[in-house]
Amino acid sequence: MSNILVFIEGANSELKNSTKELLSVAKNSGGKVLAMALGPDAIALAEKAAHYGAEKTFISSDNQFENYNPDLFVTFVADIVKQSQANIVLGSSSSLGKDLFPRVAAKLESGCVSDCTGIEFSGDNVTVKKPIYAGKCTADVNFENSAVKFVLMRANQLKINEADSGLSTEVVEVTPPTTDLKTLIKNIVKSTSEKVDLTEANIIVAGGRGMKEAGHFKLLEELADVLGATVGASRAVCDAGWVPHSMQVGQTGKTVAPNLYIACGISGAIQHLAGMSSSKVIVAINNDPEAPIFQKSTYGIVGDLFDVVPKLTEEFKKVL
């Protein structure tokens, strides 16, 4: 039976959905589910992780883990991986995960695969699916000669189990070593948006150059408000300064995989598709019937977005 260690990411003492997915898939595999939570709310996160099947959770509530700093995290996380005797480590393919785990894996002379969209366990082994060539193909990846297998999953790929509030976890408090830090994070300026981050969003309404100007993004915000969605954008409009780069979806932006992606006035360049083609349902609104985005769409609406989007908003308001 494999020991599967899940790295917990949370906010305000709540588990991120991506973490619930990891705990659920670990639990469903039949392996022993272990977890690791760092930061001031580690105990609260450990309790929540128990509800998804974490039997034992390694924590440090030390304030220094409030913000990610590779100097601080890498050695400590590697130590916990060793202490846990995990042979598989699951993390989210978030910016933190993608920075931290390749370093930890290198330290432990092990392999790490990021951006995975599927996972299958067999005994101590694991096979993962990873999109390659900007999403044009998907590779099945196995680990070889890797003592620990580090897998970083994209969000919204796995089913979340029902939480069982009757379950509890054994908490193991780990004391971090004193480290001479080379860098120190002084301050983090948080985004003022109340909306769910693009990478965690269940529904995304995204706009491209077809929006014509910055002010027209208001149309997308209105639709997003009705749907409980987050607004994203193509690089063309971020580069034009219409919206901030934090909203960019694609190869050089964020990789997203919501249940519903509504692309408005986006042509579907390969670099944009690379960031959103694993969305479950893709709806494209474009006035050019030949736009490449239609080849990737579940539903296509050929029309002027300035007619279509307000009508959708109006109709959704009636039913939601």
Q: Is 53 in the site for ligand FAD (CB under 6 A)?
A: no
How far is the C-alpha of 198 from the C-alpha of 253, rounded, in Å? 11
Strands in 123-162 per DSSP E: 125-132, 137-142, 149-153
DSSP 89: E
Cβ proximity to ligand FAD: between 14 and 213 the closer is 213
How far is the C-alpha of 274 from the C-alpha of 252, rounded, in Å? 9
Q: Which of 265, 277, 279, 283 binds ligand FAD (CB under 6 A)?
A: 265
Cβ proximity to ligand FAD: between 62 and 222 the closer is 222
Q: Which of 304, 315, 316, 317 binds ligand FAD (CB under 6 A)?
A: 304
Cα angle 46, 36, 178 (rounded to 5 degrees) comes to 115
Q: Is 255 in the site for ligand FAD (CB under 6 A)?
A: no
Q: Which stretch binds ligand FAD (CB under 6 A): 39-47, 78-86, 155-163, 283-291?
A: 283-291
Cβ proximity to ligand FAD: between 172 and 302 the closer is 302
Residue 318 CB contacts under 8 Å (≥ 6 apart), including other chains: none
Structure-token match 């193509």, residue found: 234
Q: Which of 39, 250, 258, 300 binds ligand FAD (CB under 6 A)?
A: 250
Least Å distance, CB 125 to ligand FAD, is 34
Contact of 212 with 233, CB cutoff 8 Å: no
Residue type (1 letter), 139: A
Strands in the chain per DSSP E: 3-7, 10-11, 14-15, 32-38, 56-60, 88-92, 111-116, 118-122, 125-132, 137-142, 149-153, 170-173, 203-207, 230-233, 260-264, 281-286, 299-302
Torsion over CA of 251, 256, 260 and 262, rounded to 10 degrees? Answer: -40
Q: Which of 57, 272, 279, 282 binds ligand FAD (CB under 6 A)?
A: 272
Count of positions on this chain that bind ligand FAD (CB under 6 A): 28
Least Å distance, CB 300 to ligand FAD, is 11
Q: Which of 39, 210, 232, 300 binds ligand FAD (CB under 6 A)?
A: 210
Q: Is 10 in the site for ligand FAD (CB under 6 A)?
A: no
Torsion over CA of 302, 198, 47 and 188, rounded to 10 degrees? Answer: -170
Cβ proximity to ligand FAD: between 4 and 238 the closer is 238
Q: Which of 234, 255, 278, 313 binds ligand FAD (CB under 6 A)?
A: 234
Q: Which of 248, 279, 297, 313 binds ligand FAD (CB under 6 A)?
A: 248
Q: Is 85 in the site for ligand FAD (CB under 6 A)?
A: no
Q: Which two tokens stand for residue 114?
A: 């990021």
Q: Is 306 in the site for ligand FAD (CB under 6 A)?
A: yes
How far is the C-alpha of 224 from the C-alpha of 207, rounded, in Å? 11
Residue 140 CB contacts under 8 Å (≥ 6 apart), including other chains: 127, 128, 129
Q: Is 288 in the site for ligand FAD (CB under 6 A)?
A: yes
Q: Which of 235, 261, 282, 294 binds ligand FAD (CB under 6 A)?
A: 235
Q: Which stretch binds ligand FAD (CB under 6 A): 112-120, 130-138, 165-173, 270-278?
A: 270-278
Least Å distance, CB 290 to ligand FAD, is 9
**Interacting residues toward ligand FAD by CB under 6 A:** 208-210, 234-237, 248-253, 265-267, 269, 271-272, 275, 285-288, 291, 304-306
